[in-house]
Amino acid sequence: MQKEVGKFFGISEETIYNWESGRNQPDIKLIPKIIKFLGYVPFEPEGGDLISRLKFYKLINGLTVEGLAERLSKHPDQVRAWLTGRRKPSRKNEKWIEGFT
């Protein structure tokens, strides 16, 4: 079975075994394909606040910080600061992100 799953994702059978054993995790770019393969999202957001929802959006769409920043039309450093908690979005940005997620 791992061989067929690996073929579907374009990765090795060994990589599938490593995921299953917890030795490593799938690359973020594969998350949307995994969700499609499973037919459901196998995890939930860590919290209900705006930043948790933004992190969840990033994850389920397989985005890097740069990819998320591009979708948000923001600078990657600004988005990274929000995601790490170093800075909070302004009220204007909060409202805009709220509509985005």
DSSP 28: G
CA dist., res. 3 & res. 6, Å (int): 5
Q: How far is CA 84 from CA 73, 80, 100, in A?
A: 18, 6, 19
Taking the C-alpha atoms of residue 50 and residue 3, their distance in angstroms, rounded to an integer, is 39
Per-residue pLDDT tens over the stretch 29-74: 899 999 989 899 888 777 788 999 999 999 999 999 999 999 999 9
Supply the pTM of this predicted model.
0.76
pLDDT tens by residue, 69-96 = 999 999 999 999 999 999 999 999 898 8
